[in-house]
Amino acid sequence: MNQFFKFFTASCLGVFAAIAIIFLIFAGFLGSMAGNKPVVPKNTVLELDFSSFVPEKTGNVESDAMSFEQVNKLGLNSIVALLDHAATDDKVKGILIKGNEVNAGQATVSTIREALVKFKESEKFVYSYADFYSQSGYFLSSVADSVYLNPNGMVDVKGFATMIPFFKNAMDKVGVKMNVFYAGNFKSATEPFRRSDMSENNKIQTREFLMSMVDQYKELVSASRNMTAEELDQIMTEYQGRDAKSSLTSGLVDRIAYWDEVEARLRSDLDIKSDKKIKLKSIHEYNAAVTLPKGSSSKDKIAVVYAEGTISYGTDAKGSISEEKYLKIFEKIKNDDNIKAMVLRVNSGGGSSVTSDIIWRAIENIKAEGKPVVASFGDYAASGGYYISAGADTIVSAPNCLTGSIGVFMMFPNLTELMNEKIGINFDEVKTHPMAVGLSMTKELTDAEKELLQNGTDDIYEQFLQRVAVGRGMTRDEVHAVAQGRVWTGSKALEIGLVDVIGGIDEAIKIAGEMAGVQEYKIKDYPTIKETFLDQVAKGIAESNNVQASLGIDIDPSDAEMIRQYKEVKNLMLDRTPQARLPFILKVD
């Protein structure tokens, strides 16, 4: 009986704890809903911190478990619109950039930089401060009027590099082999599973696009810092940002200072007393407090479809591209007489070739209705990301976008040695026809099965080449010469005919309007982000208080990065469908 009461009491405590957590969640949600709309006080300074992921469209990001902030994640388009609005907002006196880290691709950072350059035309100040500057953080911060650095800090500008993990040797040790089938001599996504190092072709393409990207980095940063690209190159070579003193001497920063000294500068510029608090507002808080102009009242519309994330089959998850979700969007656009043109904004390293081709076909159907389609490339528009764009009437790309990677691969794991020799599980079979069992991970593929898979991969590659050839007005052989899975930057893709214009999404929308023959139009964004009840609860939590901290939940950006990498590897290993996918996601620290 004593044991009964012991377990009964423990169970009750567990229930009460769960109820308490639920109460906290709903209290945060209801508290945020009951509050009045925030306001922007006079003498506001916008504080920009992009240390967490920046999606293309607000809220269009796959949420990690217990990550309450994801549902409210501001997209690039919203950030740019808010910075434009702040430039004319009399209550906003300037901007402070927190430059420690920027969790975004180089094209995204470039777009925010351009918005900050435009903001500076208002003659409001832009300052930057960091305890240490990452390379991407400094890329953004270099546009500031004054760049401040902690006395014990550094500016980590050192050039670009990529380091790729290889799994083959580890897989050999545990008895797992990967059957690999690919088309394209540069299609390197499968190399970690079939090699122990990078192939020479992979090194060639990687070195070329890294050089192209670092050249663009040096051009923009040196112009902002009033030095030559050659001087910045020497700073990188000699690693002159290694400490605060060297960073100041080399001209990377304007002043070494503690945070309280930066606060003193802000108070001086704002003409407020030393005992008064500086009114710092995050971009998220500013977004909650202002109402942006609605734009044109014209009935004519241009649809902007955000295709970001992995291209996957049969999913409806936010932050992913699937035929299930996007076919509905394209059908609406095709049948809406008020939509005169479409811009496909792509930020994807690819994925399922099946889904890519279905989406390509849907876009062809929109064009058949006489509606122009313009593709706009962000950080990535590679492999499947390029496939879905190949038929666009015009392709506009960021100069430092990673694109191309026109190739296909398929991988199929073989667990025979692991099962038979390591674990001791054996399989036997009886079948009526050669393929009756199907492809199985627990038996060796026959030569006939390997030939079947390789032929299927080659067929999809040929289809990919044809899609690009027709869309770009090239021959199959001309496309093949620049394809073979090779990755290019947007600038290089312009030279070889894979894109038409270097620019951002605004340029793409302008071109779409001109092609449709409309001067006044509204922008209609897709996909529509519908918040579930749980999303609303999580949003209330994120806005009302730091419940993650109060519940003892530690969500670190590095954890999210490791989870993302794990998902990428898992998807590569377990997806049995042909893949048109970029071999990596490049992150510049």
pTM of this structure:
0.85
Quote the distance between the C-alpha of residue 126 and its chain's center.
Answer: 26
All structural domains of the chain with their residue ranges:
44-158+239-289, 301-541+563-581
Cα–Cα dist 465/474, whole Å: 10
User: Which secondary structure element, helix H or strand E, spans residue 379, and what is its range?
Assistant: strand 373-382
Confidence of residue 544 (pLDDT cuts 50, 70, 90): very low
- How far from each other are the two terminal CA atoms of the chain, in whole angstroms? 60
Residue type, 454: Q
Closest CA to 140 of 118, 181, 110, 119: 110
Residue that is written with structure tokens 């999913």 in the block: 315
pLDDT value for 135? 95
471: three-class secondary structure by DSSP = helix
pLDDT attached to residue 290: 94
Arithmetic mean of pLDDT, 357-373: 98
Q: What is the pLDDT of residue 440?
A: 87
350: phi > 0 → left, psi -120 to 50 → alpha, else beta; which? left
pLDDT tens digit sequence for 178-218: 999 999 888 888 999 999 999 999 999 999 999 999 999 99
What pLDDT does residue 569 have?
54
Q: Which residues pair with 409 in a beta bridge?
A: 182, 579
Mean pLDDT of 567-579: 56
Kindly write down the DSSP assignment for every residue of 515-552, as one continuous string: HHT-SS-EEEEES--PPPHHHHHHHHHHHH--HHHHTT
Total residue count of the chain as it appears in this document: 589
Q: Is the pLDDT of residue 14 over 60?
A: no
Where residue 533 falls among pLDDT bands split at 50, 70, 90? very low
Asked if residue 411 lies in contact with residue 189, where contact means CB atoms within 8 angstroms, the answer is no
Identify the bridge partners of residue 280 per DSSP, sorted by sequence position: 45
Q: Match domain 44-158+239-289 to its CATH number in 3.60.10.10, 3.40.50.720, 2.60.120.10, 3.90.226.10.
A: 3.90.226.10
pLDDT, position 567: 56
The residue with greater pLDDT, 63 or 239, is: 239
User: Which tokens in the block code for residue 449?
Assistant: 């099965």
Q: What fold, for 301-541+563-581? A: 2-enoyl-CoA Hydratase; Chain A, domain 1 (3.90.226)
Question: What's the pLDDT at 486?
Answer: 95
558 pLDDT higher than 70: no
Q: Compute the average pLDDT of residues 525-541.
A: 62
Kindly provide the residue ranges of all beta strands, DSSP E only, lying in 430-533, ordered along the sequence.
487-489, 501-502, 522-526
pLDDT higher than threshold 50 for residue 327:
yes
Answer whether residue 466 shows pLDDT above 90. Answer: yes
Which residues lie below 8 Å from residue 134, measured CB to CB, with a gap of 6+? Answer: 99, 100, 101, 102, 156, 589
**11 has pLDDT over 80:** no
- The DSSP bridge partners found for residue 112 are none
Span 168-172, average pLDDT: 93
Mean pLDDT, range 407-430, rounded to an integer: 91
Let me know if the fold of 44-158+239-289 is the same as that of 301-541+563-581. yes
Model confidence pLDDT, tens digit, residues 37-89: 788 999 999 999 999 889 999 888 765 444 444 556 899 999 999 999 999 99
Mean pLDDT of 387-412: 95
Give the pLDDT of residue 66. 41
Tell me the CB-side half-sphere exposure of residue 445, using CA atoms within 13 A: 19
- What is the predicted pLDDT for the residue at 56? 94
- Position 19 confidence tier, pLDDT thresholds 50, 70, 90: low
User: Using one digit for the tens of pLDDT, what is the confidence trace for 100-145?
Assistant: 999 999 999 999 999 999 999 999 999 999 999 999 999 999 999 9
DSSP string, 12-50: HHHHHHHHHHHHHHHHHHHHHHHSPPP---TTEEEEE--
Range in 39-43, 313-317, 451-455 with the lowest mean pLDDT: 313-317
The pLDDT, as a whole number, for residue 585 is 57
| CB of 367 closer than 8 Å to CB of 473 | no
How far, in Å, CA of 486 to CA of 493, rounded?
Answer: 11
Lowest mean per-residue pLDDT among 204-208, 218-222, 260-264, 433-437? 433-437
pLDDT in tens, 264-279: 999 999 999 988 899 9
Element (H, E) at 213: helix 200-224
How confident is the prediction for the chain on average, in pLDDT?
87
The whole-number average pLDDT for the span 520-538 is 73
The mean-pLDDT minimum among 2-11, 92-101, 315-324 falls in: 2-11
